[in-house]
């Protein structure tokens, strides 16, 4: 059950309206990383969730995102209002001025309509929580950039509030994921192929135009990692060796195809 309270979650004020900036704000209204996308994603995940504790989390945050949508929409409308009557302001964004009457609509800053394709809903709770953590991180960065593109202190205050709540939600989703007690890389029910799952393919070999070196780090060494150098080159070399041996009357090469490793099947 939803109930609208005629009061914003955060009081919005605008000192100096800026039509162009109002257009930028629409990225967080009807854009891929915006508040409507977040509200729909978390709420639909919540509807699908059979875990009552984490269902409550998803519905709580999904509902808060609707409140954020109202804040962003109000802030954008206040910046865009001049487009209703000022030709100069209207020229900054004819779509908003002519088609929208200086108000907000469900599209992003480029005029592309909102779409449910923005939503990441898999029905696997741990996978969805990871998507949500990433979504909040992307939204935080968008708010940070918006803050850097305005000089209006009141607008900055509102954006600072919204940006801070993104981190709050990241913390909540991360805690919920960790509380499930699943191994970090245990996704779904089917285990990965042993050995293959620990192979790091060094697929960008060579020095490059600017002399970039191959780099070793915790993502490709230590623990269970096995570095596999240039699998594509290994296959070409083994094919060349097989062709050369067959021309020379020697049988070989087949065993060493793919660098001597069993080819994996894409899923």
Q: Where are the domains of the chain?
A: 19-179, 196-260
Report the C-alpha gap between 233 and 241 in whole angstroms: 12
pLDDT band at 98 (very low <50, low <70, confident <90, very high): low
Write down the pLDDT at residue 102: 66
Report the C-alpha gap between 153 and 15 in whole angstroms: 7
Write down the pLDDT at residue 255: 38
- Asked whether the predicted pLDDT for residue 216 surpasses 80, the reply is yes
Write down the pLDDT at residue 266: 43
**What share of the chain in percent tops pLDDT 70?**
82
Model-level pTM?
Answer: 0.82
Lowest mean pLDDT among 51-55, 69-73, 180-184, 259-263: 259-263
Question: Can you give the chain as a three-state secondary structure string?
Answer: CCCCCCCCCCCCCCCCCCHHHHHHHCHHHHCCCCHHHHHHHHHHHHHHCCCHHHHHHHHHHHHHHHHHHHHHHHHHHHHHHHHHCCHHHHHHCHHHHHHCCCCCCCECCCCCECCHHHCCCCCCHHHHHHHHHHHHHHHHHHHHHHHHCCCCHHHHHHHHHHHHHHHHHHHHHHHHHHHCCCCCCCCCCCCCCCCHHHEEEECCCCCCCCCCCCCCCCCCCCCCCEEEECHHHHHHHHHHHHHHHHHCCCCCCCCCHHHHCCCCCCC
State mean pLDDT over 5-24.
94
CATH number of 19-179: 1.20.1260.10
Select the more confidently predicted residue: 106 or 119: 119
- Asked whether the predicted pLDDT for residue 15 surpasses 80, the reply is yes
- Asked whether the predicted pLDDT for residue 228 surpasses 70, the reply is yes
Write down the pLDDT at residue 259: 43
Write down the pLDDT at residue 256: 36
């Amino acid at each position: 059950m939803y109930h609208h309270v005629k009061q914003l979650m955060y009081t919005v004020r605008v000192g100096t309206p800026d039509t162009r900036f109002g257009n930028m704000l629409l990225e967080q209204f009807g854009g891929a990383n915006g508040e409507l996308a977040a509200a729909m994603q978390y709420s639909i995940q919540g509807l699908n969730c059979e875990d009552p504790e984490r269902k409550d989390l998803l519905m709580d945050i999904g509902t808060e995102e609707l409140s954020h949508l109202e804040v962003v929409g109000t802030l954008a409308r206040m910046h865009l209002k001049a487009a209703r009557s000022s030709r100069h302001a209207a020229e900054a964004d004819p779509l908003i001025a002519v088609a929208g009457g200086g108000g907000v609509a469900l599209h992003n800053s480029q005029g592309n309509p909102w779409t449910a394709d923005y939503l990441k809903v898999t029905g696997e709770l741990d996978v969805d929580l990871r998507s949500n953590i990433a979504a909040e991180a992307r939204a935080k960065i968008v708010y940070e950039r918006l803050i850097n593109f305005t000089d209006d202190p009141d607008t900055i205050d509102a954006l600072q509030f919204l940006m801070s709540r993104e981190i709050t939600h990241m913390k909540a989703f991360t805690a919920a994921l960790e509380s499930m007690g699943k191994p970090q890389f245990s996704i779904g029910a089917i285990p990965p192929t042993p050995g293959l799952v620990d192979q790091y393919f060094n697929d960008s070999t060579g020095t490059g135009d600017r002399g970039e070196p191959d780099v070793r780090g915790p993502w490709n060494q230590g623990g269970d990692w096995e570095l596999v150098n240039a699998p594509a080159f290994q296959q070409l070399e083994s094919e060349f060796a097989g062709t050369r041996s067959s021309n020379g009357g020697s049988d070989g090469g087949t065993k060493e195809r793919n660098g001597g490793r069993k080819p994996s099947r894409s899923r």
